[in-house]
Amino acid sequence: MRRRLLISYLSITCFVLVALALPLGLVYGQSQERALTNRLQSDGFALALRADEPLAQRDTATLTGLVHELAAQTGAGVVVVDETGRVLASAGAHQPPPGASTAGVADLDAARRGHRVSGRRASPGGDVLAVTVPVVWRDGTVGALRMSSSLSVVEHAVERNWLLLGGLAGLIALIVLLVSTLLARSFTRPLAELDAGASRLGDGDLGVRVEVPDDPPELRRLARSFNTTAERLDSLLGSQRAFVADASHQLRTPLAALRLRLENVEADGPHHRPEDLDGALAEVQRLTALVESLLVLTRAEDAPAPSADVALGPLVEARLDAWWAVAAERGVQLDADVASLAVRSEPGRLEQVLDNLLSNALDVAPRGSSVRVVARPVGERVRLEVHDAGPGMTLEQRTRAFDRFWRSPSARRDRSGFGLGLPIVRRLVLADGGAVTLADAAAGGLAVIVSLPAAPLPAPVRVPV
Ligand SMILES: Nc1ncnc2c1ncn2[C@@H]1O[C@H](COP(=O)(O)OP(=O)(O)O)[C@@H](O)[C@H]1O
Ligand SMILES: [Mg+2]
């Protein structure tokens, strides 16, 4: 990933640099050559103006002076020829000596005919830039002169320019490389950290968290959701472990009692006391009930979301009917005040909730009192309440009542219940998107308040006649 980022940054940079530097270098070379031509041309014209009269009069001494002066000033080679092409004066390396004939040298021949010529020419000392102009005296061409300069100066300048451009491009590429390495590292560091975190999580280290980067937003979101996932896994596994520990602890007591009873039966042989065997059976029943409650709680922990609209009236009616016999035996009256309401719930779930709450209420309701089930709408929700006239709960007890395996001190003394009823109720109500709280009932006992999302009343089933 990092290498790919670097390669893409660098290739773009190199492309831009080449696209910019190449034309720049070429234009520079051309402009250098043009500047030299211009210089030679203006020097040539100046000499032609001063050399006209001496040339017309064949004053070689003056001409030689002028030519040498100019050659010394400019470093260029200078040749002056008369109208026949004979050299009258020359200066500089590789120039024809005075007296030599240049007839046949194309540029000088053309200039003697009145033309101006310039361009690159091959010469014994390497390529030169040559400018040849006619020398005119009183409306007639009296000869020609040629200025030539070695191209090596231009070539050196162009070479230096190329080197400079290359160096600059290299420097820019180096800076880009540095900056993009830092950038690529800042991109890939959170990724590498996430990678390491994920593999540690995979190895079972649930405490692992990664640093959340400020930028880019995608990585920030990814790091955040990684952390929340790890946190959730951690707490889920933690509560799972606590649950297993609690459950094992709760199973230990009845198992120990069962072993004691069975050891007594074994020791007494065929003449064992029948209470021991009955006690053993009772422990087995208690164990079975505990395991069943645990199963119900486990199922409630991952109960599905509600799928139906349930009418409360008939449901409460049916549950009160089911508990009527128990209530009658304990001398407790069952009342209902349920308006025609419906809630969003999973079928069968509210029955379990009511059964647990009614069982609790009947356990504590004093003889002659009544247990009331009330339901009424509150905004978008429905409040379903179960009131009793029992001892109620202290504030401290209410905060603990929904903890798994929590029982009131009196229930612990009597070894009645397992403290799983209210936790089961809470899980089921939560699964329906509701909430459950405990409050004081008007009659002095406890009021369990279940709040559920309201639903439109389901249409009555039409029975064909
Ligand atoms: N209506 C109530 N009034 C007073 N105490 C209650 C009431 N309902 C439950 N409790 C107390 O809360 C404890 C936990 O109840 P619950 O979770 O239903 O467990 P269990 O399975 O033992 O009934 C019980 O020990 C009981 O003493
Ligand atoms: Mg209970």
Asked if residue 390 has its Cβ within 6 Å of ligand 1, the reply is yes
> pLDDT, tens digit, for every residue of 281-297?
999 999 999 999 999 98
Contact 223, 190 (CB under 8 A): yes
CB neighbours of 277 closer than 8 A, spacing ≥ 6?
A: 261, 265
When the pLDDT of each residue in the chain is averaged and rounded to a whole number, the result is 91
Nearest ligand to the CA of 289 is 1
Cα 294 to averaged position of ligand 2 atoms, centre (Å): 13
The confidence score (pLDDT) of residue 187 equals 78
- Give the residue, by CA position, lying nearest to ligand 1 atom 8: 360
Cα 394 to averaged position of ligand 2 atoms, centre (Å): 17
Residue with the two structure tokens 């040849």: 132
The superfamily (CATH) of domain 2-156 is PAS domain (3.30.450.20)
Side chain identity, residue 199: S
Cα 6 to averaged position of ligand 1 atoms, centre (Å): 67
Nearest ligand to the CA of 418 is 1
CATH architecture of structural domain 217-299: Orthogonal Bundle (1.10)
Q: Does the pLDDT of residue 306 top 90, yes or no?
A: no
> pLDDT, tens digit, for every residue of 352-406?
999 999 999 999 999 999 999 999 999 999 999 999 999 999 999 999 999 999 9
- Give the residue, by CA position, lying nearest to ligand 1 atom 19: 419
Nearest-Å Rg of the Cα atoms of the chain is 55
Nearest ligand to the CA of 389 is 1
Asked if residue 358 has its Cβ within 6 Å of ligand 1, the reply is no
The DSSP bridge partners found for residue 308 are 345
The confidence score (pLDDT) of residue 383 equals 96
Asked if residue 77 has its Cβ within 6 Å of ligand 1, the reply is no
Contact 108, 85 (CB under 8 A): yes
> pLDDT, tens digit, for every residue of 319-339?
999 999 999 999 999 999 998
- Specify burial of residue 154 (Cβ count, 10 A radius: 0-12, 13-18, 19+): buried
Residues with CB under 5 A from ligand 2 (ion): 360, 421
Residue 445 CA, closest ligand 1 atom number = 3
Contact 105, 94 (CB under 8 A): no
Phi, psi (rounded to 5 degrees) for 418 = -120, 0
Q: Does the pLDDT of residue 215 top 90, yes or no?
A: no
**Using CA atoms, how far apart are residues 359 and 422, in angstroms rounded to an integer?**
11
Q: Does the pLDDT of residue 210 top 80, yes or no?
A: yes
Q: Does the pLDDT of residue 273 top 90, yes or no?
A: no
- Specify burial of residue 146 (Cβ count, 10 A radius: 0-12, 13-18, 19+): buried
Asked if residue 418 has its Cβ within 6 Å of ligand 1, the reply is yes
**Distance from first CA to last CA of the chain, Å, rounded?**
74
**Using CA atoms, how far apart are residues 341 and 464, in angstroms rounded to an integer?**
25
Cα 323 to averaged position of ligand 2 atoms, centre (Å): 14
Cα 174 to averaged position of ligand 1 atoms, centre (Å): 76
The superfamily (CATH) of domain 305-455 is Histidine kinase-like ATPase, C-terminal domain (3.30.565.10)
From 352, 402, 407, the mutation candidate for ligand 1 (largest count of ligand atoms within 8 A of CB) is: 407
- Give the residue, by CA position, lying nearest to ligand 1 atom 27: 408
The confidence score (pLDDT) of residue 464 equals 66
User: Across residues 67-88, what is the average pLDDT?
Assistant: 93
CB neighbours of 313 closer than 8 A, spacing ≥ 6?
A: 338, 339, 340, 341
Residue 423 CA, closest ligand 1 atom number = 17
Residue 424 CA, closest ligand 1 atom number = 17
Task: Delimit the domains of the chain by residue range.
Answer: 2-156, 217-299, 305-455
The confidence score (pLDDT) of residue 465 equals 60
The confidence score (pLDDT) of residue 366 equals 96
> pLDDT, tens digit, for every residue of 400-445?
999 999 999 888 888 778 999 999 999 999 999 999 999 999 889 9
Asked if residue 130 has its Cβ within 6 Å of ligand 1, the reply is no
Asked if residue 369 has its Cβ within 6 Å of ligand 1, the reply is no
pLDDT band at 93 (very low <50, low <70, confident <90, very high): confident
- Give the residue, by CA position, lying nearest to ligand 1 atom 4: 392
The confidence score (pLDDT) of residue 271 equals 87
Where b means 16+ CB within 10 Å and e means fewer, 266-292 reads eeeeeeeeeebeebbeebeebbeebee
**Using CA atoms, how far apart are residues 354 and 389, in angstroms rounded to an integer?**
17
SS (H, E, C) the chain: CHHHHHHHHHHHHHHHHHHHHHHHHHHHHHHHHHHHHHHHHHHHHHHHHHHHHHHHCCCHHHHHHHHHHHHHHHCCEEEEEECCCEEEEEECCCCCCCCCECCCCHHHHHHHCCCCEEEEECCCCCCEEEEEEEEEECCEEEEEEEEEEECHHHHHHHHHHHHHHHHHHHHHHHHHHHHHHHHHHHHHHHHHHHHHHHHHHHCCCCCCCCCCCCCCHHHHHHHHHHHHHHHHHHHHHHHHHHHHHHHHHHHHHHHHHHHHHHHHHHHHHHHCCHHHHHHHHHHHHHHHHHHHHHHHHHHHHCCCCCCEEEEHHHHHHHHHHHHHHHHHHHCCEEEEEECCCEEEECCCHHHHHHHHHHHHHHHHCCCCCEEEEEEEEECCEEEEEEECCCCCCCHHHHHHCCCCCCCCHHHHHHCCCCCCHHHHHHHHHHHCCCEEEEEECCCCCEEEEEEEEEECCCCCCCCCC
Cα 266 to averaged position of ligand 2 atoms, centre (Å): 35
Fold: same for 2-156 and 217-299: no
Asked if residue 388 has its Cβ within 6 Å of ligand 1, the reply is yes
Asked if residue 386 has its Cβ within 6 Å of ligand 1, the reply is no
Cα 304 to averaged position of ligand 2 atoms, centre (Å): 23
> pLDDT, tens digit, for every residue of 223-255?
999 999 999 999 989 988 888 888 898 899 889
> pLDDT, tens digit, for every residue of 6-31?
888 889 999 999 999 999 999 999 99
> pLDDT, tens digit, for every residue of 148-180?
998 888 889 999 999 999 999 999 999 999 999
The confidence score (pLDDT) of residue 458 equals 65
* Backbone region of residue 451 per phi and psi (left: phi > 0; alpha: psi in -120 to 50; beta: other values): beta
